[in-house]
Amino acid sequence: MKRIISLIMLASIMLSLSSCGKYVSSYSAVGLVRNQTSHNCEASFLSLDGILVYKLKRTAAGEGDINYSVQVDEGELRLYYDIYGTKEELAQVKSGESIEGSGGYVECDKAVYIIVEATEKSRGKFVIELN
């Protein structure tokens, strides 16, 4: 009986480890404040170096776009999205720039990975929303 329970526990652990997402956040940050819901994400930071990953899903009926607003005081940020297994660039923002825009194509109930790469120690903020 103990052996069967141990095998079931081992199988459930292996399943949970193998179902990890395609992208993984890897960053160092100072003053990072993050907020995320099912269909939007935002962050502000004093210093960010690395990659932040968010998994969003459009729950409203129909299709839409990815709306973004990015402000970079220092450094550089690149925004990417992945819906169908291909990482596509959404925006690139350099020091002193602020942009707002939209892009991508999002279907209802499809998972969207948002990848934010800070190529240098960056300071700024961003808001991304599935519309």
User: Across-strand partners of 130?
Assistant: 66
Give domain status of residue 16, yes or no: no
Give domain status of residue 123, yes or no: yes
The residue range of the domain holding 73 is 23-130
Give domain status of residue 18, yes or no: no
pLDDT digits (tens, 9 = 90+) for 6-41: 666 666 655 444 445 678 999 999 999 999 998 899
Give domain status of residue 10, yes or no: no
Give domain status of residue 32, yes or no: yes
For residue 50, the domain's CATH number is 2.60.120.260
pTM of the model: 0.80
Query: H or E element: which one contains 13?
Result: helix 2-18
How many structural domains are present in the chain?
1
